Amino acid sequence: MTEPSGLTLTQALAILIPLTILYLTYRILDLSPGLLTPSSLRAIIFGAPSPSPSSSIPAYFSLPRALASYNAYRTLALSDIRAMEKSYSRLTYKHKRVGYVLGYTRKLEEARRAEEVNAVVCRGVAGLCTDTSEFPATESGADGVFWRWGWRDEDLQPDVGRVREALKHFVRDWSMEGKEERRRIFEPILDVLREDPQAKEGLKVLVPGSGLGRLAWEISELGHDTTAIELSYFMTLAFRFLLSSKTTQATDQHTVHPYAYWFSHSRSSENTSRGIPFPDVVPRPKDNLRLIEGDFLKHSPDGAKYDYVVTLFFIDTSLNIISTLEHIHSLLKPGGTWINLGPLLWTGGARARLELSLEEVLRLSEMVGFRIAEEGARKRRTVECEYTGDRMAMMKWMYQAEFWVATKADE
């Protein structure tokens, strides 16, 4: 009997099986090795769903990108140090000797050690994402870690810069070292809330762009029903690392070396490589503190509107400041209050539709329907402050931030 033309079943399987193995290997390697859970396997085998129109988080702040970045921190940070070592190695033998006597090689070793310590924190943050009991469904859901929402691979490239920013936020928000920086910007806001005649009954407060969550947490400690909204998973994962009893149990349990990779403006190598313990207090999820991982511009409150919206270093991140102020206004109860403190550092590269001056922002606020307090304890004023500054560095970036309290005028 002659074989029928075309492939036999055995031949077809012989081709298909290696191809399937090749494809699965490709998909597995494409994901982080720590992510092989039933849901990631499901994603690998059945493919990712089509892009979700409900995912309001841009790819560069997304969970997959933040996770990839925390996972890749050690590799990327150490490759930066390697580049510095390579540069040093290009010196002549005589100059290398001078460098050695000055302690430069020791400084590079210290930087390497410091980055290893930072990587421990980063691994802890990334590890949270694979624990679905610790990572209950959010906007994108626990499975969202593994779905790519149709984003392009280049949008999801690890970003070591954003992780470093989050590490500095551990200091600003949650260490003793950051206390003075926090005091200058938190106290004017907390004073307004403390002095509100309704404070004893508890107020409903929204904190958009909440970063690592310290301000929202402080407000909830005053007894108010507080909602924090943050778009960037680089920030919220770091906050979750502190909220979770699995990753954080005690004060000063963790250490970061947030300045170790940058040798500029350094008074001494010791300062640059110093470790900073955190947290100064252990935050725990509470009934009156809610974290929403999503876009504030898409947020509408459950039930009643807010008594207060508090924006700290936030409004200038808007791509459309008019939409931001209109949305703040719409979220407030009649007579509700908006507290703002921050600079006007607009997103560069002409990405912001409008880049207004302070005068223009104040005028816009009135046009949107706010009355800004110009007298008494709530009077508009300038607050000199830093943002994730290194208090021991030779350079300071000082903001002349503006503080105001605005009331939603009658509609």
Task: Please state the closest distance from residue 123 (CB atom) to ligand SAM, in A.
Answer: 22
Among 196, 295, 326, 355, binds ligand SAM (CB under 6 A): 295
Among 296, 306, 308, 338, binds ligand SAM (CB under 6 A): 296
Report d(CA 311, CA 230) in Å as an integer: 12
Which is closer to ligand SAM, CB of 241 or CB of 296? 296
Report d(CA 122, CA 212) in Å as an integer: 15
Task: Please state the closest distance from residue 84 (CB atom) to ligand SAM, in A.
Answer: 28
Stretch that binds ligand SAM, among 82-90, 207-215, 262-270, 346-354 (CB under 6 A): 207-215
Among 297, 383, 392, 393, binds ligand SAM (CB under 6 A): 297
Compute CA 353 distance to the chain's CA centroid, rounded to the nearest angstrom.
23
Among 266, 269, 317, 337, binds ligand SAM (CB under 6 A): 317
> Could you tell me which of 406, 341, 338 has the C-alpha nearest to residue 372?
406
The alpha helices in 151-247, defined as continuous H runs, are: 160-174, 179-194, 214-221, 233-243
Stretch that binds ligand SAM, among 27-35, 88-96, 203-211, 273-281 (CB under 6 A): 203-211
Task: Please state the closest distance from residue 61 (CB atom) to ligand SAM, in A.
Answer: 6
Q: 364-389: string of b/e by CB count within 10 Å (b at 16+)?
A: bbeebbbebeeeeebebeebebbbbb
Residue 314 in contact with ligand SAM, rule: CB under 6 A: yes
> Could you tell me which of 168, 211, 218, 212 has the C-alpha nearest to residue 189?
218
Report d(CA 53, CA 257) in Å as an integer: 39
Q: 185-196: string of b/e by CB count within 10 Å (b at 16+)?
A: bbebbbebbeeb
Residue 186 in contact with ligand SAM, rule: CB under 6 A: no
Which is closer to ligand SAM, CB of 94 or CB of 351? 351
Report d(CA 156, CA 69) in Å as an integer: 9
Query: By CB under 6 A, what part of segment 385-404 binds ligand SAM?
Result: none
Residue 176 tokens, joined:
């003793």
Q: List, as one string, the DSSP characters of 54-107.
A: T--S-GGGSHHHHHHHHHHHHHHHHHHHHHHHHHHHTS-HHHHHHHHHHTHHHH
Q: 61-92: string of b/e by CB count within 10 Å (b at 16+)?
A: bbbbbbbbbbbbbbebbbeebeebeeebeeee
Which position's Cβ is nearest ligand SAM? 209
Stretch that binds ligand SAM, among 67-75, 102-110, 308-316, 400-408 (CB under 6 A): 308-316
Among 63, 67, 122, 312, binds ligand SAM (CB under 6 A): 312
Task: Please state the closest distance from residue 232 (CB atom) to ligand SAM, in A.
Answer: 3
Which is closer to ligand SAM, CB of 110 or CB of 293? 293
Residue 201 tokens, joined:
């009954």
Query: By CB under 6 A, what part of segment 228-247 binds ligand SAM?
Result: 229-232, 235
Which is closer to ligand SAM, CB of 327 or CB of 378? 327
Residue linked to tokens 């970063």 = 211
Give the three-class secondary structure for 244.
Answer: coil
φ/ψ of 255, rounded to 5, equals -135, 140
Which is closer to ligand SAM, CB of 114 or CB of 166? 166
Which is closer to ligand SAM, CB of 122 or CB of 229? 229
Stretch that binds ligand SAM, among 19-27, 124-132, 224-232, 251-259 (CB under 6 A): 224-232
Would you say the C-alpha torsion 277, 282, 284, 289 has a positive or negative sign? negative
Query: By CB under 6 A, what part of segment 333-352 binds ligand SAM?
Result: none
Stretch that binds ligand SAM, among 67-75, 149-157, 289-297, 374-382 (CB under 6 A): 289-297
Which is closer to ligand SAM, CB of 173 or CB of 307? 173
Interface with ligand SAM: number of residues (CB under 6 A): 17
Which is closer to ligand SAM, CB of 55 or CB of 317? 317
| 332 strand-pairing partners | 306
Residue 135 in contact with ligand SAM, rule: CB under 6 A: no
**By the criterion CB under 6 A, which residues form the site for ligand SAM?**
61, 208-211, 229-232, 235, 295-297, 312-314, 317
